[in-house]
Amino acid sequence: MSEARTAILAALRAAPPRGPAPAPDFAVIGEKRWDAPERVARLRRAMAAVKTEFLDAGPGDWPRVVLEWVQAERLPNLLYGPGTAEGRALAAAWPAPGPGAPRLLAYDRPVEAFKGDLFGTVAAGFTTTLGGLAETGGLLLAPGPAEPRLLSLVPPVHLALLRADRIFDTLLQAFRELGWNREPPANALVVSGPSKTADIEQTLAYGVHGPKRLVVVLIN
């Protein structure tokens, strides 16, 4: 172990001992509870306020809703993770390649073999989510082998599938119920809108580095 480590820890241990501090009481957050329709309404309100778009869909027809939206927006392609059940459902509903049909691209190679396309030609990325947040708005994502980290970041449009019955009251509740507070995935994310900045004169501008548009496909 390094000399710096030993010296720093020794210096910290040399300080006068602190008395025991009381365990934190999270009641002020735990009290925040809403019923199911209010959870959906709050999430929509908060996320729409920061320019998130919503598409309503049913549990069976959401792949068609996604396809129609991509066609209506005239996007040339959509990148997805083929390793999830939702990814397979999307692929099954997608039309065969042909003139005018948007292409469904699978993120199935290491990024090193794919970076040029990812940064250059991919028009949109599709991911699932683990749920949402009612208090503040926000989507919970755990990228991994099935849905790589850059899928929700690099393409200019991010389409995210959210089940209305998976909206948590608060971030604290989500941390606990998803088990992130015990064993977090290598990467976990909360996303509450499209990329934005107010660094120039506090004027809000969207799409600075991440996606310019965030579209939530909400399964009611």
Tell me which residues in 33-92 interact with other proteins (CB under 8 A).
46, 50
How many angstroms separate the CA atoms of 130 and 33, rounded?
A: 19
Backbone angles phi, psi at 119, to 5 degrees: -80, -20
By CB under 8 A, the count of residues binding other proteins is 82
On whether the CB atoms of residues 186 and 153 are closer than 8 A, the answer is no
How many angstroms separate the CA atoms of 86 and 79, rounded?
A: 13
State the minimum distance, in angstroms, from the CB of residue 206 to other proteins: 8
DSSP letters spanning 80-94: E-TTSHHHHHHHHHS
Q: How many residues does the chain have?
A: 220
Q: Please tell me whether residue 169 binds other proteins under the rule CB under 8 A.
A: no
On whether the CB atoms of residues 42 and 168 are closer than 8 A, the answer is no
Query: Of 67 and 216, which has the nearer Cβ to other proteins?
Result: 216
State the minimum distance, in angstroms, from the CB of residue 219 to other proteins: 22
Of these, 59, 87, 100, 107, which contacts other proteins (CB under 8 A)? 107
How many angstroms separate the CA atoms of 100 and 178, rounded?
A: 41
Residue corresponding to tokens 């990024």: 111
Binding part of the chain for other proteins, among 64-72, 93-101, 121-129, 138-146 by CB under 8 A, reads: 138-146
Query: Of 62 and 80, which has the nearer Cβ to other proteins?
Result: 80
Q: Which residues contact 62 (CB under 8 A, 6 or more apart)?
A: 161, 217, 219
Query: Of 64 and 212, which has the nearer Cβ to other proteins?
Result: 212
State the minimum distance, in angstroms, from the CB of residue 115 to other proteins: 6
> Could you say which residues in the range 181-220 bind other proteins, by CB under 8 A?
181-203, 205, 207-211
Query: Of 20 and 59, which has the nearer Cβ to other proteins?
Result: 20
Query: Of 93 and 172, which has the nearer Cβ to other proteins?
Result: 172
Q: Which residues contact 46 (CB under 8 A, 6 or more apart)?
A: 136, 137, 138, 192
Of these, 2, 37, 74, 92, which contacts other proteins (CB under 8 A)? 2
State the minimum distance, in angstroms, from the CB of residue 28 to other proteins: 4
